[in-house]
Chain A
Amino acid sequence: MKLYYFSEMPHHEYPDAEGDKYPSLRLAFPNTFFSPEIAQRNYRRYLDEYDAADQAGFDGLMINEHHSTPSCVNVSANMTAGILARTTRNAKLLILGNILPIQDNPVQIAEQVAMADLISGGRVLSGFVRGVGVESWWANSNPVHNRERFEECHDLIIKCWTTPGPFRWEGRHYHFRHVNPWCLPLQKPHPPIWVPGTASPETAVWAGRMGYTYVPFLVSFEVARELFDFYRQGAAEAGRTVTEDKLGFLICAVTADTKARALEAGRHFVWRMGPTLRGPIEYFSPVGMRSRAASQFALKARSVSLSKMTYEELVDNYYIVAGTPDEVADRFARVRRELGIGHLLLEAQESRMDHATTMRSIELMGKSVIPAMARL
């Protein structure tokens, strides 16, 4: 099983009491609490940690993007991929991902991902996501069109990578008269496509139909299995066989020299389960963004909100894994047995987890956990 290192690049250096004054940390919490001085140090630090994860032997580095939130100040997954393409050597660069519905120019996304793929020597895994509602607000993109735009943006990017230009694109949401990108990916026909999921059965079915790698984020085993069933349904419709290489899962994880230290570090993940997800439903799922089926599935999938769970419950239920290297290896193996996945994505730094703790965790993963997982 392959392991991936992921940092959300948080900016949690403000008094929590200030954040509590607003309806949500996303959209509403004023950016007067953003410190360029701190962010400058943090970006360097987070990028150093990615480099260390590459050197430690992680199979991949996962990069994401959010907007208008201290929970993730990585505002451009492609820019980070471009940096890591140059500074890392071996790990895959998993962009998970470009938020397709909010893009106004899919051709530029095709170019940027291609450029990162070229600079990295063909190491890019290109994830496509619909984004949380916050991103639709940020881009002022009509959530009613979210799924249509996701699919059309995807179709145009794939066409950029697979059809010689120049060609014309007149869709419903995108219109380009002369498409002819002079930057194409190294990998042929194009970098592998990955798709995450939390609640939408349609996305799982679609990913299965397309044969893309599908990764549920922070859900219970039970919900992940249901989503994988939807994925298999889509795959079956297209006559595809599902191998473990097409299935992944994301959890939070940290290791340390002692169990006590790891459990202490693991508490930093609680921030991303509650405070950073707090806010009106209108922010996270604006009107029209979710289908009725997805809304119903979301209610079931989050029957117990992550924010309502204690740290111990989050650990018991595998949302957070924190322990000595042997302990986390055991738990990762259990995840694999439960879900039959080929890829385990580790959100490995969060909140105010310090650099030393993060680096030690990366080092210990490299020494024994990654080799153990490679044998599975």
Chain B
Amino acid sequence: MKPREETIAVGPTRVQAWIGGEGDPLLVLHGAGGNRGWLRWMDAVAERHTIYAPTHPGFGRSDAADWMEGIDDLARFYLWFLDVMGLDRVHLLGHSIGGWTAAEMATMCPDVIDRLVLVAPTGLKPEVGEILDIFYYPPEELFKHTVFDASTIPERERLFGRPPTPEEAEIALRNREMAARLTWKPYMFNPRLPHFLPRVTAPALVLWGREDGIVPLICGEQYRRLLPNATLRVLERCGHLPLIEKPDEFAGLVLDFLRRA
């Protein structure tokens, strides 16, 4: 099943999105690194689900949204996105700041979320340690903190195998600027979120790489504790990008969790 690329207008803001697969809808929200396109793990999950993978406003080739101030704005935007797409109820999967966005959405409108998958989400202040300041480090150094062992990434050639084109470099810069706009202060967390997480009704799977060098694993424990119905699964020898570092194991866990719906 070949995914298709669409441009979707949410109010005046048009976002680019990958859509593919068949079955119950699954909305996928990417992290601060941007939308990496149709990934290997999606092929497996798309066997059973229709995946909607939009590029956030301000990222990639989606329209700018300089008026946004924080992740709660992005959460409200995606609830609107669901209206536009005519999706009454979806599974929701988010990675990093996309996971934070997903958690915010689930606190705002619990009824529209069937099952919730949070992959190394930011959004909570770690009880111990700190979320790495991704804007403070040069990209090469940041990458070392991001993945556990780049040599084992199956898609490394396609994703990181060559220097970026000028257009890709511009998109990478745009992604960082929008991420900064949304997460600068308080850095990568919402102090009010823990007070709302108990409202979430969807069963939740919280996935974390044991060696995550960006968001401390303790945040996973916090999410598990605060969400009324959550399981925490930790992937070994894996950093902050389980979706591409362990795509097959990741897809298996996601499929298994969603199958129980």
Listed in ascending order, the chain A residues whose CB lies under 8 Å from chain B are: 137, 140, 142-144, 280-283, 286-288
Contacts and interface: CB of A to CB of B under 8 A. Distances in A.
B185 A287 contact: no
B185 A140 contact: yes
Contacts of B176: 287-288
Nearest to B139: A282
Interface of B: 135-138, 173, 176-177, 180-181, 184-185, 187
Q: Which of A137, A142, A286 has the most CB of B within 10 A?
A: A142
A255 to B, nearest CB: 41
A287 B184 CA distance: 11
B185 A280 contact: no
B137 A282 contact: yes
B184 to A, nearest CB: 4
A288 B181 contact: yes
Contact of A142 (B136, B137, B181): B181
Contact of B138 (A137, A140, A142, A281): A281
B138 A282 contact: yes
A334 to B, nearest CB: 40
A287 B137 contact: no
A281 B185 CA distance: 21
A144 B184 contact: yes
A288 B138 contact: no
21 contacts: A137-B136, A140-B184, A140-B185, A140-B187, A142-B180, A142-B184, A142-B185, A143-B180, A144-B180, A144-B181, A280-B136, A280-B137, A280-B138, A282-B135, A282-B136, A282-B137, A286-B135, A286-B180, A287-B176, A287-B177, A288-B176
A288 B66 CA distance: 12
A281 B184 CA distance: 18
Contact of B180 (A280, A283, A287): A287
A288 B180 contact: yes
Contacts of B137: 280, 282
A287 B142 CA distance: 14
Nearest to A280: B138
Contacts of A137: 136
B57 to A, nearest CB: 14
Contacts of B135: 282, 286-287
A287 B183 CA distance: 12
Contacts of B184: 140, 142, 144
A282 B138 CA distance: 7
B138 A287 contact: no
A177 B176 CA distance: 34
A134 to B, nearest CB: 11
Contacts of A142: 180-181, 184-185
A358 B185 CA distance: 43
B177 A144 contact: yes
Contacts of A143: 180
Contacts of B180: 142-144, 286-288
Contacts of A280: 136-138
A286 B177 CA distance: 9
Given A140-B184, A144-B177, 7 more contacts: A142-B184, A144-B180, A144-B184, A280-B137, A282-B136, A288-B176, A288-B181
Q: Which of B135, B137, B177, B185 has the most CB of A within 10 A?
A: B135
Q: Which of B137, B138, B180, B185 has the most CB of A within 10 A?
A: B180
Nearest to A283: B136
B23 to A, nearest CB: 38
Contacts of B181: 142, 144, 288
A288 B177 contact: yes
B195 to A, nearest CB: 23
A288 B185 CA distance: 15
A282 B184 CA distance: 14
Nearest to A136: B184
Contacts of B187: 140
A63 B5 CA distance: 56
B46 to A, nearest CB: 33
A288 B173 CA distance: 8
B182 to A, nearest CB: 9
Contacts of B138: 280-282
A142 B138 CA distance: 18
- The 5 A-B residue pairs with the shortest CB-CB distance, nearest first, are A142-B184, A288-B177, A287-B176, A144-B181, A287-B180
Contacts of A283: 136
A197 B181 CA distance: 25
Q: Which of A142, A143, A283, A287 has the most CB of B within 10 A?
A: A287
A169 to B, nearest CB: 18
A144 B135 CA distance: 12
Contacts of B177: 144, 287-288
A363 B147 CA distance: 60
Nearest to A287: B176
A282 B180 CA distance: 13
Contacts of A281: 138
Nearest to A28: B136
B127 to A, nearest CB: 21
A243 to B, nearest CB: 37
Nearest to B177: A288
A123 B257 CA distance: 72
A124 B181 CA distance: 36
A219 B257 CA distance: 60
A283 B138 CA distance: 10
